[in-house]
Amino acid sequence: MIVTVTPNTAIDRTLIVPSFSLNRTIRASRSVMGMGGKATDASWILGELGIPSLALGFAAGLAGQQVEAMLRERGVDTDFVWVGGETRSNTVIVCEDGSGQSTVGAATLEVSAEHVDALQDRYQAALEDAACVVMGGSLPRSLEPSLYTRFAREARRRDIPVVFDASGPGLRAGLSGRPTFVKPNRAELEEITGQPASSVEAAYHAARELQARYGTSLVVTLGEEGAVAVLPGRAYRIPPPQVEVVSTAGAGDGVLAGLAVALSRGEPLEEGLRLGFAAAGAVLTTLGTADCRRADVERLLPTIELVPYRPPPGGQMPRERSR
């Protein structure tokens, strides 16, 4: 069983607008609800693919009930700790002219020490049957980032692989737990290493530094440049899926899902990368956060390329490709 842990559950409402500016009424042409929270996003994607998972975390209020209902509708098992406040409701604003998008959210869960203890107990029980753990995202205001350190260490102590994705202090704490895989974007990689990652080569070197320090593999997403994956003894450049982008929200969480599948089944990591980027490409074609269709994932899977990468002399990229 794949277990996902989301301390700060969320639901996303995405709005398509002609353009965005302050101090005026803006009428959206489309609106759709999607999942929010990196690990629950992964569970939602896995559910669409027909792969079972158990979603843990904190949830509250009507929004929390809606998150749970959406997950269960896709066949995901849930065991949330119900807390005070309200599960986050984020608003994703996408400009239909392609100029960009933004997400507006706020931390609204009220989590006590007793709630943390309850989640710890449920997590410990879930690890008994776990083949892989996916965890990450932001944290409610009252939680210390060390929760990620503890949870990652506990899984790794049992030789259960961990796929992790967070930013800021949460990313630092999670890395200290030595997860199996971490998926930062360019900005997060630069923040954690203090090095620029303005090119594929620079991102590769920064990721290699983290791999040497923490013993973790990395997939660094680089927007229009695709991604670079740094694995034990090898690395790949992954060109972006060739799709018409509707919204980028939740696409990276498809990568988490794909890696979790490969790790849980003992398959080569390359298979997880291919599935993950096929899922990410399918998410890009939908308006809802982390939403995708299984048929699109299957259609994109054979098109995902892994280009073996070594820092080339003179900036030349290797030409050979692995499919």
Whether 322 maps to a domain, the answer reads: no
In a domain, 306, yes or no: yes
Q: Does residue 317 have a pLDDT over 50? A: no
Structural domain harbouring 296: 2-19+30-315
**Encoding tokens for residue 207?**
């990721």
The answer, yes or no, to whether residue 90 has pLDDT greater than 70, is yes
Confidence at residue 135, expressed as pLDDT on a 0 to 100 scale: 98
List the CATH number of the domain containing 240.
Answer: 3.40.1190.20
| Mean pLDDT confidence for 46-71 | 97
Residue 294: inside a domain: yes
Strand pairing report for 181-182 and 162-165 = parallel
- Tell me the β-bridge partners of 231: 234
Does this model's pTM top 0.85? My answer is yes
Residue 22: its pLDDT value, please? Answer: 83
Concatenated DSSP letters of 226-285: -EEEEETTEEEEEPPP----S--TTHHHHHHHHHHHHHHHT--HHHHHHHHHHHHHHHHT
pLDDT tens per residue, range 6-39: 999 999 998 888 888 788 888 888 888 899 999 9
In a domain, 53, yes or no: yes
The region of weakest confidence among 16-20, 161-165, 168-172 is 16-20
Average pLDDT for the chain: 93
* Beta carbons within 10 angstroms of residue 144's beta carbon: 13
Q: How confident is the model at residue 312 (pLDDT cuts 50, 70, 90)?
A: low
Q: Does a structural domain hold residue 297?
A: yes
pLDDT of 74-85, one tens digit each? Answer: 999 999 999 999
Could you tell me if 136 and 165 are in contact, meaning their C-beta atoms sit under 8 angstroms apart? yes
The band of 314, judged by pLDDT with boundaries at 50, 70 and 90, is low
Residue 320: pLDDT band by 50, 70, 90 thresholds? very low
| Count of domains observed in the chain | 1
Query: Mean pLDDT, to the nearest integer, of 65-73?
Result: 97
Confidence at 102, pLDDT banded by 50, 70, 90: confident
Domain-located, residue 246: yes
Q: From CA 56, how far away is CA 74, in angstroms rounded?
A: 16
323, pLDDT greater than 80 = no
Instruction: Tell how strand 227-231 and strand 234-238 pair up.
Output: antiparallel
Q: Is residue 304 part of a domain?
A: yes
Q: How many CB atoms lie within 10 A of CB 62?
A: 11
pLDDT tens-place string over residues 234-282: 999 999 999 999 889 899 999 999 999 999 999 999 999 999 999 999 9
Q: Can you tell me the distance from the alpha carbon of 194 to that of 111, in angstroms, rounded to the nearest whole number?
A: 32
pLDDT of residue 24: 85
β-partners of residue 306 are 322
The answer to whether the CB of 256 falls within 8 A of the CB of 233 is no
Do the domain assignments include residue 323? no
